Amino acid sequence: MRAKALLMSALALASGNACAYVIKVPWALPQHEVQLQFSGNAPGGEAWMAGAIHTVKLWQQISGFSWRPVTGNASGCGYGDTISVLRFARSHCSDNFGFFQVSVVQTTTESVNGGPYRLIDADGFLNIGPGADGYFVAQRWPQMSRTVNGGIAGSAPSGGTYAAAFAQAAAAWNTATDFTLTVNGTVSNPCPDNNISAIAFSATVCGEAWGSNVLGVTLSTRSSINGGPMLLVDSDILFNSNYSWDIYDSALNGTTMDFRRVALHELGHLIALGHSTVPEAIMLPSVSNATSLHCDDRRGIAAAYGQNPDSVCAAPVPPAQWHDWQLYPGPLRNGGPEFRRVVGSALGLMMGLGQTTDPATLLYPQISDVEHPTCDDQAGVRAAYGLSGSCANVADVIFRERFQ
């Protein structure tokens, strides 16, 4: 299955199923300690920690899983260290958050003596905005080089060929990073998953419709060899021929797209990167007036291949908090994410559940008016651990003690 390097979600709603919950890999027992690392207060004055503890207690009351809050300052990045951490963070360990990611849960599983796999570690990170870097490492090649069949037809209205502009974009990455792109003039079809990287203009994405406002797409295939990490084995680029294209370095105009800067962006995907949160980066999700690689783009490639980003260029000063986190009861308001909902969802994933396809559940991938674990979320935990009980009506229970 090929992955598209685009910000999109394509989830089908549950249909005809009594339950939407997903059980992934549970703990051996329905109990575990969790380090809650939340200092300071929400904009309304309530302590973040109070909201976190209420949510932890709520899960225990309605599902039977016992989270035991403890103090500590573990990073949550120790692989399989059995110390579960839930905290605010600017990155989730060695990787930056995706552009629209509010939280990330990382889990470690293990099978003992050939038995079923069980969780041995689970950590959650709530995004308080980008740190010094905004890059996101999405994928890696097993080596720091790749050949691309760069034969792409056409000449720009202002002069020059698109093939030459693509080669110039590749040369920019070669100059700014230690990754080597070799571009030849071979014409080949990017759509087959054949371990040959190619580029082309196309009216469709290999037969599928282009998404709204999408200028280009990178199609990537990863594989694991002998149980090793998932690494790239193929990556191809398509440019949307439904747009008018040209080649220029000036500010974007409203009639034609600049091919070279879009090629720079898509080549960043092909090499390793997802989208960045730095407005000046070429890997920003939307095309901008940037026509060259930024320090953040270069640091991202260095990090992807085990190099020290500081050896490439100096990191900028971390910006102020990005997500304007809130803590309140009731329907979702405009603005930043509501803290308890995200904590509740993260705890559900840390218990071994997966995200649901039902928007009326807390474990749905997007934040909504659902502010506490629903009957389906509760049933998922009980089913995962063989616990008895029935659905509990928990509306507003989170605010009964401290928040009134």
CA distance linking residue 142 with residue 150, whole number of Å: 21
Torsions phi, psi for 278 (to 5 deg): -85, 120
CA distance linking residue 400 with residue 177, whole number of Å: 55
CA distance linking residue 199 with residue 115, whole number of Å: 46
Residue 256 is predicted with a pLDDT of 95
Average pLDDT value over all residues in the chain: 88
Same fold, 19-129+322-399 and 145-305: yes
pLDDT in tens, 75-114: 888 766 889 999 998 788 867 787 678 899 999 999 988 8
Residue 7 is predicted with a pLDDT of 27
The CATH fold assigned to 145-305 is Collagenase (Catalytic Domain) (3.40.390)
CA distance linking residue 136 with residue 97, whole number of Å: 7
Domain at 19-129+322-399: CATH code: 3.40.390.10
Q: Contact 294/273 with Cβ under 8 angstroms?
A: no
104 alpha carbon, distance to own chain's centre? 8
- 205, HSE (Cβ side, Cα atoms, 13 Å): 19
pLDDT in tens, 151-202: 999 999 999 999 999 999 999 999 999 999 999 999 999 999 999 999 999 9
Residue 8 is predicted with a pLDDT of 26
What is the band of 395 on the pLDDT scale with cuts at 50, 70, 90?
Answer: low
Q: What is the residue extent of each domain of the chain?
A: 19-129+322-399, 145-305
* pLDDT at residue 135 greater than cutoff 90: no
Residue 131 is predicted with a pLDDT of 66
Torsions phi, psi for 76 (to 5 deg): 85, 5
For range 26-33, the mean pLDDT: 96
339 alpha carbon, distance to own chain's centre? 19
DSSP 3-state assignment of 266? Answer: helix
Residue 22 tokens, joined: 């997903």
For the ranges 7-16, 285-294, 371-380, the lowest mean pLDDT is seen at 7-16
Higher pLDDT, 50 or 7: 50
List helix spans (H) across 22-109: 48-63
pLDDT in tens, 199-255: 999 999 999 999 888 999 999 999 988 878 899 999 999 999 999 999 999 999 888
Residue 17 is predicted with a pLDDT of 44
Convert 281-309 to b/e letters by CB count within 10 Å (16 or more is b).
bbbbbebeebbebbbbbbbbbbbbbeeeb
Percent of the chain with pLDDT over 90: 65
Residue 208 is predicted with a pLDDT of 94
Q: For the chain, what is the radius of gyration of the CA atoms? A: 23
Provide CB contacts within 8 A for 50, sequence distance 6+. 402, 403
